[in-house]
Amino acid sequence: VALGDRIKLGDYVLLYLDLERRWLAQVGEGSFHTHVGVVALEALEGLEYGSPIYTSLGRRLWVLKPTVEDFVMKSERRTQIVYPKDGGLILVKAGLGPGDRVLEIGTGSGALTTIMANVVRPDGHIYTYEVRREFLEMARRNIARLGLEPYVTFHLSDAKAGVEERDVDLCVVDIGDPWEVVGVVRKALKGGGVFVGVTPTVNQLERLVEALRSAGFVAIESVELLARKLEARAGRTRPATRMIGHTAYLTFARSTLEEE
Ligand X SMILES: C[S@@+](CC[C@H](N)C(=O)[O-])C[C@H]1O[C@@H](n2cnc3c(N)ncnc32)[C@H](O)[C@@H]1O
| Residues lying near ligand X in the complex (CB under 6 A) | 79-82, 105-106, 108-112, 129-132, 135, 158-160, 174-176
Q: Kindly tell me which of 31 and 80 has the beta carbon lying closer to ligand X.
A: 80
Would you call 4 exposed, middle or buried from its count of C-beta atoms within 10 A (0-12, 13-18, 19+)?
A: exposed
In angstroms, what is the minimal distance from the CB of 56 to ligand X? Answer: 35
Q: How far is the CB of 146 from ligand X (least distance, A)?
A: 14
Q: Which residues partner with 25 through β-bridges?
A: 13
28 or 176: CB nearest ligand X? 176
| Residue 118: half-sphere exposure toward Cβ, Cα within 13 Å | 20
Q: Is 32 or 129 the residue whose CB approaches ligand X more closely?
A: 129
Smallest separation (angstroms) from ligand X to the CB of 71 = 12
Nearest residue to 258 (alpha-carbon basis) of 201, 183, 203: 183
For 103, other C-beta atoms within 10 Å of its C-beta total: 28
Question: Which residue, 93 or 160, has its beta carbon nearer to ligand X?
Answer: 160
DSSP string, 85-146: HHHHHHHHHHT--TT-EEEEE--TTSHHHHHHHHHHTTT-EEEEEES-HHHHHHHHHHHHTT
Q: How far apart are CA 33 and CA 101, in angstroms?
A: 40
Residue sitting closest to ligand X (CB): 108
Q: What's the N-to-C CA distance of the chain in angstroms?
A: 61
In the complex, minimum distance from the CB of residue 160 to ligand X, in angstroms, rounded to a whole number: 5
* Closest distance to ligand X from the beta carbon of 180 (Å): 7
Nearer to ligand X, 63 or 117 (CB): 117
